[in-house]
Chain A
Amino acid sequence: MNSVILRAGARLLALLLVIFSIYMLLRGHNAPGGGFIGGLIAATGFVVFAIACGTEDARRALRFDPGSIAGAGLGIALLAGIIAAIFGDNFFTGQWLFINETEDDKGIPLSTVLVFDIGVYLVVLGAVLSITFALEESV
């Protein structure tokens, strides 16, 4: 696959998919989307990239080893659960912080639920990529 157009297109597509995946992740709590879907979209982006430019380039573009990403994601998800325990609630109870809260508007909500979803995102992304890359490379 040495088409320049394909490679350039794949780069662009991958970038778009990654940005779109983050959008899907963040809106997931209120509309279709979330960590699973976001992670799968981002993974698809990198897989397209890998098919066009080879896994070596894709790995470089990813910067981190996919296995480490997945591991970190699991750690982050666990952290979200532990935070609840620190506040004295049951494990994995959502903790919320509303910035600029007013009567009508909840402001910018920050929550451990979002942290957890980011963890899911990273695990799915890392796991799918480490499977795909490993398979591509060994074939």
Chain B
Amino acid sequence: MIPTITAGDTLRFVWEWVPSLGVNVSFYIDGLSLTFALLITGIGALVMLYSARYLAGHVHQARFSFYLTSFMLAMIGLVTSDNLLALFVFWELTTITSYLLIGFNHDATKSRRSALQALLMTGVGGLALLAGIILIGTTAGTFEMSEINAMPGVLTGSVMYLPILLLVLAGAFTKSAQFPLHFWLPNAMAAPTPVSAYLHSATMVKAGVYLLARVHPSFAGTDVWLWTLTIAGAVTMVFASVMALRQTDLKLALAYTTLMALGALTLLLGNESGYTITAAATFLVVHSLYKAALFLVVGILDAQTGTRDARQLFGMARAMPITAMAAGIAALSMAGFPPFLGFIGKELKYAGALAVASEPILVAGAVLISSALMVAIAGIVSFRPFWSKSGTPIPDVKEAPWPMLVGPIILALLGAIFGIFPETLQSIVTPTVAAIVGNAEPAKELRLWAGVNLPLFLSIATFVLGFLLYAYKVQLRDWLIGITTRAPSFDNGWDRLMAGVAAGSKALTRGIQTGVLKHYMYVTFATALVALAFTLFTQTSGIPSVSWPQIALWDWLVFLLVLLGTWLTVVTNSRITAIAGLGVVGIGMAMIFILFSAPDVAITQLLVETLVVVLFAAAALKLPELDKDSFGKRPFDALLALGFGVVTTIILMKVTTGPIDRELTTFFETASWPEAFGQNIVNVILVDFRALDTFGEIAVVLIAAISIFALLRAKPEPQAEEDQP
């Protein structure tokens, strides 16, 4: 498969999932997917090996492996999905597994908070992304990204382009932690170190970058795209690298440099030139290699010495020579020294920044500052703890076991190998760039020595600035801590937001869920009335014209009888009178059925009415008398009831004066005798034509009987005092 992709071809597999909605499980593999897939599986395997030892003996080690494997599968699905809806499903799966992994130490409050924060942040972004995806689908007519990318201008030329872009960017920026949605990522460092190395550095946080790259052909080329990505990326990059210098916790420092890398990738993807995209593709690989290695190294330090505080770790190289070597190589790559891959990456970044369509000087300046800070932080993270003599080493520290060393060493060495033999990496970078910008802007060549040019001078400036920053790191850190403690923090804002949401929902619940039945009934009836009346008066001509034909005396009498029964039931304050009133209504109903040719129904109604009275007599007389009630006391209720009655009457008058379709009835009438050998059509419908319905209905009757039986036979609970709060 790899040779196919490196040769510039693509692969696509499709299974139809929900064809009616255009949802397929389709996989598309090109250079971009392959690069990501290789990073995911490659780093994943090393992290697995590492964590097997890192968490050896942990109670939930099996659970951890399960989460990690699930994440790996979800992530591979994400980068290989062609269908955007399938991509979204995998996207959410990575969010959930990330939640589980951050909260792995679930007995710590901090872990739980960080996990929830990450879940909510990326979850909200995910929802925005879903909305964006649906808009893309309706605009382009397909959810297959490969098809959408093959239709140039289908999105950029659409009126929906701006909403789509904003929604998709919301998804990508939360996932890839762009400023000001970045704060969840440093908190996510509550996860075990292998997780930080894998999810929150090498893979998951790059899902947002992947998305930007994936939709690049359909989205890029507009001012909005260019400026949003450039500004967000540049701000994130500078902000994160400054914040990284402030940290004393090595892991946190690395987390902020990850942010910086994500910002840089976003910045580069804003453009369309071959240089910037090549720089993005290369830097993606570079960063994943050295950052995963450094995270694993910090994990080793943490595990072997018990601390990862930069102020306590000095000169550990003697105790842990192999770790120190891996850390050193990775850090040199990170700082961008030749002949490591990081150098190529940085040169390309400068070349890319200078090729940026807008304000190249400003962008190059941002890159310069952040790269210089990278140099300083590379020193803080991997030079000082191992080689510095400004403090005493922690005694009695042993070298880490080999499964934990393999990962960092391989990752660090790959950075060196790719740096010395860049053509090995070229074979994968070229199709990646082709996947992002097509063949119009071919990938640039990866070279260690590109001649004496502007990027080289910038590199030298970077090193000088970097060394200066490193030399004054303690003063800088104290100064930064002073500033940042005074500045408003995003984390506090988050807490206030959460508290506000909780208070708001509580107030809302208290408003809606009053616990008073009457309020619920009121809202239900009022809503139904408004909906009915609205439909009635907007969709139809309103009040129908009614003709009052001759009505027989009998009919009038029955009408008055039912009215009388209803009136009695409503106004009385006596149970017996009300029951009698209901009985009158029931008998009036039966008379209506008799008058209008429904003998079966009339008989049933009479019998049921009898039984209702018997049951009432048995139960209701044991209940207390009704309280006093009159219209005067509940005028609003009466008004609502009156409105309901009027609307019902109008609707029924419209229905009965409109046409009627008797097709079914005609069928029953003509088929009843020849096919079902029955002369009573009602009974034939019940027991033959619609026997399955009747079966369901008698089952309901039986269930009612069983429920009543159970209700009556259960021991009455005593007035439980202890239940009352």
Contacts and interface: CB of A to CB of B under 8 A. Distances in A.
Whether the complex brings A and B within 8 Å at their CB atoms is answered yes
Interface of A: 28-37, 40-41, 43-44, 47, 51, 66-67, 70-71, 73-74, 77-78, 80-81, 91-92, 94, 96, 106, 109, 111, 113, 116-117, 119-120, 123-124, 126-128, 130-132, 134-139
Contacts of B680: 28-34
A4 B611 CA distance: 24
B253 to A, nearest CB: 71
Given A37-B600, A40-B607, A44-B610, A29 B683 contact: yes
A139 B698 CA distance: 27
Given A28-B680, A111-B677, A134 B687 contact: no
B262 to A, nearest CB: 61
A134 B683 CA distance: 30
19 contacts: A29-B683, A36-B604, A40-B611, A47-B614, A67-B705, A74-B699, A77-B694, A77-B698, A113-B676, A113-B687, A116-B695, A117-B687, A120-B686, A130-B709, A131-B708, A135-B618, A135-B619, A135-B712, A137-B712
B687 A120 contact: yes
Nearest to A128: B611
Of all A-B residue pairs in the complex, the 6 with the closest CB atoms, nearest first, are: A127-B705, A40-B607, A30-B679, A92-B691, A32-B599, A123-B698
Nearest to B698: A123
A134 B713 contact: yes
B698 to A, nearest CB: 4
B622 interface: yes
A133 B692 CA distance: 29
Contacts of B705: 66-67, 70, 126-128, 130-131
B532 interface: no
Given A67-B709, A124-B701, A134-B713, A36 B686 contact: yes
Contacts of A35: 686-687
Given A74-B699, A111-B677, 15 more contacts: A30-B678, A32-B603, A33-B683, A34-B683, A40-B607, A67-B706, A71-B702, A78-B695, A116-B695, A120-B694, A126-B705, A127-B705, A134-B712, A135-B618, A137-B712
A137 B702 CA distance: 19
B162 interface: no
Contacts of A131: 615, 704-705, 708-709
Interface string B123-148: 00000000000000000000000000
A74 to B, nearest CB: 6
A132 to B, nearest CB: 7
B600 A43 contact: no
Nearest to B617: A51
A74 B677 CA distance: 24
Nearest to B691: A92
B608 A40 contact: yes
Contact of A127 (B686, B692, B701): B701
A127 B713 CA distance: 16
A131 B603 CA distance: 21
A35 B685 CA distance: 13
B637 interface: no
B243 to A, nearest CB: 70
A59 B141 CA distance: 69
A135 B708 CA distance: 8
A67 B699 CA distance: 12
Contacts of A91: 692
Contacts of A33: 600, 603, 680, 683
A138 B712 contact: yes
Contacts of A47: 611, 614
Contacts of A138: 712-713
A137 B677 CA distance: 44
Interface string B622-640: 1000000000000000000
B688 interface: yes
A135 B698 contact: no
Contacts of A113: 676, 678, 687-688, 691
Interface in B639-655: none
A99 to B, nearest CB: 14
B289 interface: no
A131 B680 CA distance: 30
Interface size class on chain B is 35 or more
A92 B694 CA distance: 11
B101 to A, nearest CB: 51
A136 B618 contact: yes
B677 A96 contact: yes
Given A67-B709, A92-B695, A120-B694, A44 B607 contact: yes
Contact of B704 (A40, A77, A78, A127): A127
A138 B709 CA distance: 10
A93 to B, nearest CB: 8
Contact of A109 (B603, B614, B677, B704): B677
B687 A132 contact: no
B615 A135 contact: yes
A51 B618 CA distance: 10
Contacts of B164: none
B692 A28 contact: no
B687 A116 contact: yes
B698 A74 contact: yes
Given A34-B600, A74-B699, A96-B677, A28 B683 contact: yes
B684 interface: yes
A139 B687 contact: no
Contacts of B682: 34
Interface in B686-724: 686-688, 691-692, 694-695, 698-699, 701-702, 704-706, 708-709, 712-713
Nearest to B675: A94
Given A43-B611, A119-B698, A134-B708, A92 B677 contact: no
Nearest to A27: B680
A132 B618 contact: yes
A73 B701 CA distance: 12
B698 A124 contact: yes
B448 to A, nearest CB: 78
Contacts of B614: 47, 51, 132
Contacts of A73: 698, 702
Contacts of A109: 677
Contacts of B599: 32
A13 B653 CA distance: 44
B205 to A, nearest CB: 56
Contacts of B704: 127, 131
A127 B18 CA distance: 45
Contacts of A124: 698, 701
Nearest to A78: B695
A106 B678 CA distance: 12
Interface in B21-41: none
A17 B60 CA distance: 71
A71 B677 CA distance: 28
Max chain B Cβ within 10 angstroms of own Cβ: one of A43, A71, A134: A134
B594 to A, nearest CB: 11
Contacts of B619: 135, 139
Contact of A81 (B686, B695, B702): B695
A92 B600 CA distance: 22
A126 B430 CA distance: 80
Contacts of A66: 705
A81 B694 CA distance: 11
A30 B679 CA distance: 4
A139 B679 contact: no
Contact of B615 (A77, A80, A132): A132
B468 to A, nearest CB: 86
A39 to B, nearest CB: 9
A91 B696 CA distance: 13
